[in-house]
Structures are given as structure tokens and as C-alpha cells.
Amino acid sequence: MFSVFAIDGIPEITAGMDLAEIIGDAIATPAEPRQGLHHGDIVVVSSKIVSKSEGRIIAADDREQAITDETVRVVATRKHPKGVTRIVENRLGIVGAAAGVDASNTPEGTVLLLPVDPDGSAATMRLALQDRFDVALGVIITDTLGRTWREGQTDIAIGASGVTVLEDLRGSVDANGRLLDATLPAVGDEIAAAADLVKGKSSGLPVAIVRGLGHLVSSDAPGARVLIRPSESDMFRLGTEEAYAEGFEAGRSGASG
């Protein structure tokens, strides 16, 4: 059994603020007895406040240009009445809409980019909180993405430190004794989604604690980057129109050769 609860008292974050100190202060002055940090807790932090503290706000009258600048590879595009939705791979290797460029809850004429190194940001935060509270814990940094074949969005882990994000069950057996040869739960994403249920998108609660999953807390766990599937092994590397255009061009080049 595990529990999830949001942390009150996080102010509006601006560039240069010490996020670990601010979160630690909020945790150290609990609004209710269950707060505080316990051994094995996982602190889940929305990437938006990480980006703000790291000064990742840029002037951009045209959000589309910012998306272009953050794009490594275009996966799919689709026109709609207000423009074009672009699904792209960004500098972090994450595939999603708009390269993670966010224009919500930022000053007019600016956009917010994702942290440069979410795993590194999570590690810095974890070490500071562990030193302050003298407990072993994990930190996950989250962002909101859509899912292939599914409507709606959910939070996923884009940065992590001290917590297993990919639980490898291959080689073990199920309840009926059958060998598991492909079971690899993305527990980091599951934790991110669970935390989002209490953090919300507009409630001013960007930090949550997940308690009761201490078996996933490990100081030598790899970061969230292990959750990213390399494009060369992605069975759906391109959108429908892009795959058609690529195949058409290949066919035309072959015919003319």
C-alpha cells in the first residue's frame, strides 16, 4: 500500500531560486502530521517549477519558432483550424507535442523550455533533501505528454534520481509459474501519473510525496533517460503522412534509378 499527497506552501518560482531549499522548507513546516520526509519517500516535482528556477524562460513572440529550435526530429504533423500540431523528438530525446515548449502560466511574450538536464536536476535536489532530512529518498521530475493510441494526457517521468523508473521483471515467473520474458513496468511513469492526481494542473501544488514504495528507492538507480526508446527501435518512428511521403520518395527514386 502506498499514499500520495501534495505539499502546500510552494511560492511562485522565479529564476535563481534554490528549489531544494524551498521544497525542504515547505516539507519542514507541515500543514498536517503526515507531511515531513520519511525514509523511502519519493518526491515528485513538476518540471515547470524546475525550469523556472533554472531560468529556462525565453522571450518568444512566436512559440512555433521556439518549438523549431528545440526540435531534433519531426515525427508527425497534423493540420487543424488554428495551425499545425507537431509531434517531435526534442533535445532530451523525448517524443511529444511541441517539443515540451510551454506557453501556459508564463508572462506574455515568453515561453518555458524543459530543463537542460532533468536527471541532473533531480540528483541535485535529492542530495540536498537527503542531507537536510537525513533520509534515503528518490526524486522524480515530471512533464505532461499525450500517449499513442490514447486520448488525453498524463504525467511521465522526464528526470529521476535515487529511484528505479524501469522495473525489470524479465526472467521471473507469474502467479501461475509462467516465465515472464517481456515484462518491464515503467514504474517511474506510473509514479508520475499517481502524483499528478493530487498536484493537478492549476491548483498551485507542483510538488507531491509518494510514500510506501521504498523498495524502488536506490542510490545507484539510473535516471529517467532509460525510459526513452531509441528511434531506431521504435516501430512507429514516423506519422502516417510522413511515412507515406518517405515511402513515395523512395519508390520514385528507385523507379528513376
Residue 199 region, left (φ>0) first, then alpha (ψ -120 to 50), else beta? alpha
Query: Domain of 148: which CATH number?
Result: 3.30.1330.100
Amino acid present at 253: S
d(CA 163, CA 224): 9
Percent of the chain at pLDDT exceeding 70: 92
Residue 69 lies in a domain: no
Kindly state the average pLDDT of the residues 95-104. Answer: 90
Q: Which of 27-36, 79-88, 201-210 has the lowest mean pLDDT?
A: 27-36
Kindly state the average pLDDT of the residues 216-239. Answer: 89
Residue 122 lies in a domain: yes
**pLDDT over threshold 70, residue 104:** yes
Residue burial 92-130, b: 16+ Cβ < 10 Å; e: rest: bebbbbbbbbbeeebeeeebbbbbeebbebbbbbbebbb
pTM here?
0.90
Residue 79 lies in a domain: no
Residue 101 lies in a domain: no
Residue 212 lies in a domain: yes
| Residue bearing the bigger pLDDT, 195 or 204 | 195
Overall number of domains in the chain = 1
Residue 161 lies in a domain: yes
Residue 197, φ and ψ in degrees, nearest 5: -65, -30
Residue 226 lies in a domain: yes
Note the pLDDT of residue 32.
Answer: 53
* Residue 177 domain boundaries: 3-54+114-256
Q: Identify the residue whose cell numbers are 508564463.
A: 106
The residue among 118, 114, 117, 111 whose CA lies nearest residue 57 is 111
Residue 187 lies in a domain: yes
Instruction: Measure CA 76 to chain center.
Output: 20
Note the pLDDT of residue 148.
Answer: 83
